[in-house]
Amino acid sequence: KQEVTQIPAALSVPEGENLVLNCSFTDSAIYNLQWFRQDPGKGLTSLLLIQSSQREQTSGRLNASLDKSSGRSTLYIAASQPGDSATYLCAVKRIQGAQKLVFGQGTRLTINP
Amino acid sequence: GAGVSQSPSNKVTEKGKDVELRCDPISGHTALYWYRQSLGQGLEFLIYFQGNSAPDKSGLPSDRFSAERTGGSVSTLTIQRTQQEDSAVYLCASSLYGGDSYEQYFGPGTRLTVT
């Protein structure tokens, strides 16, 4: 059974800092890994999708890496802003079984002005 | 272009009543997914539709839950005889295809409260 863990559960940092969010998964047989953000009371916004054959993806101030063999991904946020405050979720799509995403519990990020 | 839309955005119902939740996927997307997000459980997969294939119902928690997708587009999730533990946010997602590489796009969700 695929399990996805995100550490820390919550993080609070001052504006302007660079930060890293962590995601680990137990089964390396994945098609891809997706990072989302969720604002309070809202749905999920896709940030980055990394295919299993890729090592990293970048979008603006965001950079996501994937180390499939060790079952880890990181989301790096550069020069954080108060607007980055949200819950960040990672999810993996397994090769075996249902065509579904398996989610971590998320990291609640607060950027303090 | 238009994203995934869901209705209603909020639904309050009495225990024992039936409810229907609607999802309009992105036009042209052949794959549609339902997930549930509840406190303490995180996001859980419920059901997956791909084109005209039989749906994957492996995530449905009980036989009170059912879903259909008409004409390969709009989907309805039905919960019969609702229970308080059904209270959650129900999220719908779609992707171009259901295969390995494709990104899933999520709707805003329906918040269901069972009193």
pLDDT of the residue at B5: 96
* Distance in angstroms (rounded) separating the CA atoms of residues A28 and A93: 10
| Chain A residues in contact with B42 (beta carbon < 8 A) | 103-106
Would you give per-residue pLDDT tens digits along chain B (115 residues)?
589 999 999 999 999 999 999 999 999 999 999 999 998 778 999 999 988 888 999 999 999 999 999 887 999 999 999 999 999 999 999 998 777 678 889 999 999 999 9
CB atoms within 10 A of CB B16: 10
pLDDT of the residue at B81: 98
Write the pLDDT tens digit of every residue in A6-19.
Answer: 999 999 999 999 99
Query: 3-state DSSP: chain A helix, strand, coil percent, rounded to 5?
Result: 5, 60, 40
Per-residue DSSP letter, B35: E
Nearest to B101 among A51, A103, A106 (CB): A51
pLDDT of the residue at B88: 96
**Contact by Cβ (8 Å): B14, B87:** no
Separation in Å, CA of A31 to nearest CA in chain B: 5
pLDDT of the residue at A47: 96
| Chain B residues in contact with A99 (beta carbon < 8 A) | 31, 33, 48, 50, 56, 98-99
Separation in Å, CA of A99 to nearest CA in chain B: 7
Q: How sure is the predictor about A98, in pLDDT bands with cuts at 50, 70 and 90?
A: low
- Angstrom distances, CA of residue B80 to CA of A26, B7, B71, B77, B113: 35, 17, 23, 10, 14
Write the pLDDT tens digit of every residue in A33-80.
Answer: 999 999 988 889 999 999 999 999 999 999 999 999 999 999 999 999
pLDDT of the residue at B86: 96
pLDDT surpasses 90 at A85: yes
pLDDT of the residue at B1: 57
Check CB contact under 8 Å for A101 and B106: no
Q: Are strands A10-14 and A107-112 parallel, antiparallel or unpaired?
A: parallel
A contact residues 71-90, partner B, Cβ 8 Å cutoff: 89
> In this complex, how many residue pairs, one in chain A and one in chain B, have their CB atoms less than 8 Å apart?
60
Nearest chain B residue to A32, by CA: B101
**Contact by Cβ (8 Å): A6, A72:** no
